[in-house]
A and B are shown apart, each in its own frame.
Chain A
Amino acid sequence: MLTRRELRGIDRPLLVAALLLLAVGFLTLYSASFQKAQATGVSFFTRQMSWAAMGGLLALLLVVVDYHRWLEWAYLLYGLNLLLLLLVLEMGVVRGGAQRWLTLAGFTIQPSEFAKVTTVLALARYLGSRREMVKQSWRALIFAGLFAAVPMFLILREPNLGTASVFLPMALAMLLVWGIRLKVLGLLLAAGAALVPLGWMGLADYQRSRLLVFLNPNMDPLGAGYTVVQSRIAIGSGGLLGKGWLAGTQNQLNFLPERHTDFIFSVVGEEWGFLGSSLLLGLFAFFFYRSILIATQTRDPFGRLLIVGLVALLASHLVVNIGMTMGLMPVVGLPLPFLSYGGSWLLTCLGAVGMILSVGVRRPVF
């Protein structure tokens, strides 16, 4: 448990940044969904509120309890999560051709979201306790690789290419900071690039079409490319200052499919313009900067690896998600941290904040 004095040592700038991101998320979600809520009574906004409340409690719990406790349980949590992923494949809810959800006690959850965090925990525990193995990088690499590969494989089977692929930057960042030889890392990346054509053959049709349409969205402007074309129009038409909150025509006139989930950044771009979007990016940059600062200051290798994994996770989501709304990345269905609607994802983000703060509170104060 924490003493009051320790709690005062909480990293306030990071906390504020996270709260601001959450606030921007709610403003944007309101704009993206209030018309539907008024019309039909289905409010994404209020649902997200209750998820946020739950996420807040989770974050508090994670801050108050020493994160070493979670690391002790890391393998157990990881194993349980794998079990959930298996359950999804067995009896999950099918939506839009993919089986990604589980219904538990009335809640629909997406275990692949939680798997991101439990894998970070398991990797942090494994790598953190094996400093002496740095020289035998290959063996460590194989084990670390397995930690990431098993959930990846299960998630690919759902199928969910986007979520599965995010495990790669996450694991690579942790290996990098852990101290893997750069030569080995380089070889690994080269081998990965060589395997790309093989991966193409393993893709489902819809995934291939998404990648092809990414290369040329106008190939199918009414089908798979529609979302990207409309999203680019939305962001581009925001101009320097944006059209104002609740006033984006692309958003309000229903031209943006998925605008409350994966394409929520299009609403930001349209209504807040270049200025507002830049501020949002700045806020994210600050959030990552503070997190890495904590990782630098802590002397605990577990805590550092934990933060690195979480930061890499959130940052790759951010880059891929915004990139895809602008047509710079293929549409792979990765949500935007703190902004995209979705309970499991919001819990994951707030849980990540809680863990980073938890490492922060326990770093040596000087």
Chain B
Amino acid sequence: MRLLILQRLIAGGLILIWAGLFTLQIPQGGRFQQQAEKNRIRLIHLPAARGAILDRNGVPLAEDRLSFELTIFPQDLKDPGQTWTRLESLVRISAKELSSRYRKGYQGPFAPVPLVRSVPSETAFLLEERRAQLPGVFVRPVPRRTYRDGPALGSVAGYVGLIAPEELTHLQSYGYTFRDFVGKEGLEQEYDSVLRGRDGGLQVEVDNRGRLVRQIGFLVPQRGRAVTTSLDGRVQAFCHHLLKGISGAVVVMNPDTGEILALVSTPSFDPNAFVDPAREREVRASLHGVERPMFNRAVRSAVAPGSIFKPVVAYAALKAGKIRPDTIFVCPGYFELGRGLFHCWREEGHGPQTVTDALEHSCNVFFYQTGHRLGREGIAQAAHLFGLGSPTGIDLPKESKGFVPDHPTSWQEGDTISFAIGQGPLQVTPLQMLVLMSVIAEDGKVPQPHLVTDVEGEKGKSHPQPARLSLEPEPLSVVKIGLERVVNSPTGTGRLAQVSGVHAAGKTGTAQNPRGLPHAWFLGYAPVEHPKVSLVVFLEHGGRGGVSAAMVARDLFAYLKELEYL
């Protein structure tokens, strides 16, 4: 009968399973018992402290401080409900929240569950005192990344966070694991391999309830190495303060050595928030904000330079003999080319202008004429000569290289006219312009901008020697005279940047852009005779460079003098 067939099929299946069970448990049982024994060895992860980031005076900008973490050891926890209510008043977190954090973090009786990442030391002591009433509750010191003056540092320091899965796939071969905190953005990312320590661990044997039986091995965690930067924490904070409520960037550099004193981009973010689970919302706002706080404008923002590009055009035209120092173009307020009419920023015009006048007044018409003579290729060549179109090589991630129109698909004479005053397709970063200005200030010496000057355990962090451009001294000195007058002449566009006792030179820029108010630029150095400091101020949609940007530069010059950098 058919039912018998079914019965036999089922019996056959059961016998098959039973035979499998037999081979697994009886002949191979011993081997599997050994493997199960091995499974009883557990590894407790001991995180290593991350190296500090120091400023030029040895002040820690970022360091790992010990913080007290409230942890639950499940195997010792007696009465969860009661424990949460007792903790509630001590740590000021609701019992419900504590209980849900515990449930989410629970892995097994042996694995400690961190409940509160950081409790104040007074609370830590209180908890220690009441340990008898709170079985299973422990306070343990763990290293935690702390940034002094977080928001001022965010854009240059970056932050640390748990490694992302896609990062892990290409970092795995370097010994990174899924629970590692890695540097993201800024110096934390650039110097991650130096800053990160080597995590240690404790090998222990546990019994079937997960209770510790004995310790087998111990690997001491190794602290990461510190890096010393050329930043001055005070200048950094001051620059951040100057840009309060504004989107933009400020970079201050020693034009001779390329050491960066301050590098600020706003709006910024507080890297301290990224290691504090309670500030998750703030982190999300930072990562996805429309203002793009994570975007380091100093090295990644590629925009039109506007008039701060004029010194390049002036030098190139003088050198090529297209104009002479005493060549005069008359500015009636506009320039006619074919059927096109190109305006000067000053409607009534500047009248007759030499090249130094034109730099001082930022006369557009003079540079329309000059650019017309020089041609697109001449201007582009000069832009490349001064480093535009290539990254500066600063030790920060994701630097933009900007854009120089070398092989435009469609180009008309009018485009050359705009190109000559730094408009059109030309794109530069604030840092590129800073290097450019420093090259002029240093008569052709090209500084390598850098932040880190010393790495612990490495003898003298070496940076490429400054290269030298063979700039012709005469045209250069003409340009520098113009730049000096920008700040110091009563009719100079940058006169608002004047500070008594500081002999500065510079150039203002007001870069038109399709998305709103023009970007305001100020580019300068001081003192004129022996430049010690060069700086760039870039204000997104900041209006007139001669007003907003020059005023920021003035405050900065004054502060640098106060600190005796000038």
Contact = CB atoms under 8 A, between A and B. Distances in A.
Q: Do A and B come from one complex?
A: yes
Interface of A: 35-36, 39-42, 173, 176-177, 179, 230, 232-240, 243, 247-250, 252-255, 269-270, 273-274, 277-278, 281, 284-285, 288-289, 292, 295-296, 304, 308, 311-312, 315-316, 318-319, 322-323, 326, 328
B320 interface: no
B24 A319 contact: no
Contact of B13 (A36, A239, A319): A319
Contact of B11 (A179, A255, A285): A285
Contacts of B18: 278, 281
A173, A247, A289: residue with the most chain B Cβ atoms closer than 10 Å: A173
B80 A40 contact: yes
Given A42-B103, A176-B2, 16 more contacts: A40-B106, A233-B32, A236-B35, A237-B29, A239-B29, A249-B40, A250-B36, A253-B108, A253-B110, A254-B108, A255-B39, A274-B25, A281-B18, A292-B10, A296-B1, A328-B17
A35 B35 contact: no
Interface residues of B, number: 47
Contacts of A254: 107-109, 210
A253 B40 contact: yes
Contact of A328 (B20, B30, B110): B20
Contacts of A36: 106
Given A36-B106, A238-B25, A177 B6 contact: yes
B475 to A, nearest CB: 65
Interface string B26-65: 1011111101110110000000000000000000000000
Contacts of A176: 2, 5-6
Contact of A236 (B32, B106, B110): B32
Contacts, number: 153
A315 B14 CA distance: 9
14 contacts: A39-B106, A233-B32, A235-B24, A235-B25, A238-B25, A248-B208, A249-B208, A252-B210, A254-B107, A277-B25, A281-B21, A288-B7, A319-B14, A322-B17
A237 B77 contact: no
A240 B24 CA distance: 10
A113 to B, nearest CB: 21
Contacts of A278: 18, 21
Interface string B203-227: 0001011100000000000000000
B102 interface: yes
Interface in B219-270: none
Contacts of B39: 230, 233, 249-250, 253, 255
A264 B24 CA distance: 17
Contacts of B110: 253
A292 B25 contact: no
A98 to B, nearest CB: 21
A239 B34 CA distance: 11
A237 B36 contact: yes
A274 B77 contact: no
B77 A39 contact: yes
B80 A269 contact: no
Interface in B90-104: 99, 102-103
A274 B74 contact: no
Contact of A315 (B13, B108, B109, B209): B13
B365 to A, nearest CB: 66
Interface of B: 1-3, 5-7, 9-11, 13-14, 16-18, 20-22, 24-26, 28-33, 35-37, 39-40, 74, 77, 80-81, 99, 102-103, 106-110, 206, 208-210
Contacts of A255: 39
A304 B3 CA distance: 9
A177 B33 contact: no
A-B complex: 4 closest residue pairs judged by Cβ atoms: A236-B32, A254-B108, A237-B36, A239-B29
A288 B14 CA distance: 11
A277 B25 CA distance: 10
Contact of B29 (A240, A252, A308, A322): A240
Query: Binding site of A, secondary structure by majority: helix, strand, loop or mixed?
Result: helix
A243 B29 CA distance: 12
A188 B103 CA distance: 51
A215 B451 CA distance: 54
A314 B487 CA distance: 91
A239 B33 contact: yes
Given A237-B29, A238-B25, A39 B109 contact: yes
Of B2, B28, B30, B102, the most chain A CB neighbours within 10 A belong to B2
B98 to A, nearest CB: 12
A292 B10 CA distance: 11
A273 B33 CA distance: 12
B72 to A, nearest CB: 9
A247 B210 CA distance: 11
A311 B10 contact: yes
Contacts of B20: 323, 326, 328
Could you say which of B11, B21, B109, B210 has the most chain A C-beta atoms within 10 Å of its C-beta? B21
B6 A269 contact: no
Contact of A269 (B11, B25, B33, B208): B25
A56 B265 CA distance: 68
A39 B14 contact: no
B82 to A, nearest CB: 12
Contacts of B10: 288, 292, 311-312, 315
B36 A274 contact: no
Nearest to B10: A315
A359 to B, nearest CB: 13
A213 B80 CA distance: 40
Contact of B6 (A40, A173, A252, A323): A173
A308 B3 CA distance: 8
A295 B208 CA distance: 46
A209 to B, nearest CB: 17
Nearest to B111: A254
Contact of A40 (B5, B22, B31, B103): B103
Contacts of A315: 10, 13-14
Contacts of A270: 36
Contact of A292 (B3, B17, B24): B3
Nearest to A295: B3
A12 B9 CA distance: 25
B210 A236 contact: no
Contacts of A277: 21, 25
Contacts of B40: 249, 253
Given A281-B14, A281-B17, A238 B29 contact: yes
Contacts of A326: 17, 20-21, 24
B32 A296 contact: no
Given A41-B80, A232-B32, A240-B29, A177 B3 contact: yes
B33 A236 contact: yes
Contacts of A247: 208
Q: Which of A41, A247, A253, A292 has the most CB of B within 10 A?
A: A253
Nearest to A322: B17
B480 to A, nearest CB: 65
B76 to A, nearest CB: 11
Contacts of A312: 6, 10
Contacts of A295: 3
Given A177-B3, A233-B39, A319-B14, A252 B25 contact: no
A308 B77 CA distance: 50
B136 to A, nearest CB: 9
B167 to A, nearest CB: 19
A304 to B, nearest CB: 8
Contacts of B28: 236
Report which residue of A42, A312, A326 has the largest number of chain B beta carbons within 10 angstroms of its beta carbon.
Answer: A326
